[in-house]
Amino acid sequence: MKLKQRVVLLAILLVIFIFTKVFLIDNLDTSAANREDQRAFHRMMTGLRVELLPKLDHTLQSPWEIAAQWVVPREVYPEETPELGAVLHAMATKKVIKADVGYKGTQLKALLILEGGQKVVFKPKRYSRDFVVEGEPYAGYDRHNAEVAAFHLDRILGFRRAPLVVGRYINLRTEIKPVATEQLLSTFLTVGNNTCFYGKCYYCRETEPACADGDMMEGAITLWLPDVWPLQKHRHPWGRTYREGKLARWEYDESYCDAVKKTSPYDSGPRLLDIIDTAVFDYLIGNADRHHYESFQDDEGASMLILLDNAKSFGNPSLDERSILAPLYQCCIIRVSTWNRLNYLKNGVLKSALKSAMAHDPISPVLSDPHLDSVDQRLLNVLVTIKQCTDQFGVDTVLVEDRMPLSHL
């Protein structure tokens, strides 16, 4: 064989060797990542049911100190939380030592201080479980039970970006009024035999109070994030205009995602993929009202998108508002880990997992069966949407490997 032919042959063999090595390494990495995703899923399913128990035998720390130490830039609570039941129990039972009107917003809430100095937000019950909110997908009052369900869905999806939430019954006469500020107390009234309040907010009206059953009010308690993690508010790039006849750009420009990708913080880092994860999350719960979102301050785009204020969810089980998925079907990218988790949850697993996760909540049953069924159906719609993206652009383009270390800052 001539020298020139040998050189060509060696070059071809070298190229084949390099491509084979790269292919094998990539597949090994992908396979290892998929195996870790599967192990993480099984760990989540094993620890799904959380009993609300008061004991913290292995530590001298308070439940509030434990929960505060959980928070890092990329998660609100860790994957393994043996103390979660004790923290939720404290949220559901600790004495209220102060009650005030809620922080700024459009919906009724109260800001409570629990024994030990922990701030929490209380959202009262406005609807029965089987009530269907008609109209626009963002219509109606906040649903307190939606906050509880959304927290547990966040656990199931493995995002761990939602603050802790638990249901609670509170006696307005004996637990709230004696410790209420004058500003909150001035909004209390009696309707029939029921104690009611209407609070202070953009849409709060004396003619539309939230009323207890007698003095006992059902609601949801959301744990306030530690003050050492101040929040920064951002306008959601796929937010709605909330004006009849006026569309946001994303509603008519199918290339809108290309423009988003050129602006900070979506041009680099994890934020755009967080937006996609959040779109999936919001679609599953039927939340079309995420016009803004929060991250931690001074994060340069590296903080997680925190899943706050999920109460405009689970309003109408028959309404699947596909526009919530616009970030997904316009950008056509999603994390591999999210894709894997969604596939593990199909065939009825999601409904069963969500029902099991909420079984020990004090206000259980948290959701009606039609809402649980709707979550399963919406999951299938999400998977179909991702399949349409992979058919059009290819798996390697759509499924993005992005596993950021949780303590990277």
pLDDT in tens, 367-407: 999 999 999 999 999 999 999 999 999 999 999 987 654 33
Q: Which domain holds residue 301?
A: 228-400
Per residue in 145-161, pLDDT (tens digit) is 999 999 999 999 999 99
Mean pLDDT of the chain: 90
Report if residue 362 sits inside a domain: yes
Report if residue 26 sits inside a domain: no
Q: What is the mean pLDDT of residues 57-83?
A: 91
Q: Is 246 annotated as a binding residue?
A: no
Into how many domains does the chain fold? 2
Tokens of 206: 């004396």
Q: Is residue 1 scored above 80 in pLDDT?
A: no
273 in the same domain as 137: no
CATH number of the domain residue 345 falls in:
1.10.1070
Q: What is the mean pLDDT of residues 307-330?
A: 97
Which among 201, 175, 185, 188 has a CA at the least distance from the CA of 109? 201
**Residue of 100, 154, 289, 361 marked catalytic:** 289
Which among 76, 32, 54, 29 has a CA at the least distance from the CA of 295? 76
239 in the same domain as 354: yes
Please, which pLDDT band fits residue 16 given cuts at 50, 70 and 90? very low
390 in the same domain as 339: yes
Q: Is 294 annotated as a binding residue?
A: yes
Q: Is 258 annotated as a binding residue?
A: no
345 in the same domain as 258: yes
Please, which pLDDT band fits residue 300 given cuts at 50, 70 and 90? confident
238 in the same domain as 190: no
Q: Is 142 annotated as a binding residue?
A: yes
Q: What is the CA radius of gyration of the chain?
A: 24
pLDDT for the residue 4: 56
Residue 231: partners with Cβ closer than 8 Å, 6 or more residues away: 225, 294, 295, 296, 297, 306
pLDDT for the residue 30: 57
Tokens of 201: 């907010």
Q: What is the mean pLDDT of residues 226-239?
A: 95
383 in the same domain as 355: yes
Which own/partner pairs from 347-354 qualify as long-range (CB within 8 Å, at least 24 positions apart)?
348/376, 350/156, 350/284, 350/375, 350/376, 350/379, 351/375, 351/376, 353/45, 353/48, 353/156, 354/149, 354/152, 354/153, 354/156
268 in the same domain as 209: no
Q: What is the mean pLDDT of residues 68-86?
A: 95
Q: Is 107 annotated as a binding residue?
A: yes
396 in the same domain as 259: yes
**Residue 274 designated active-site:** no
248 in the same domain as 201: no
Q: How many CB atoms lie within 10 A of CB 190?
A: 10
259 in the same domain as 123: no
Q: What is the mean pLDDT of residues 192-219?
A: 96
Q: Is 106 annotated as a binding residue?
A: no
Report if residue 317 sits inside a domain: yes
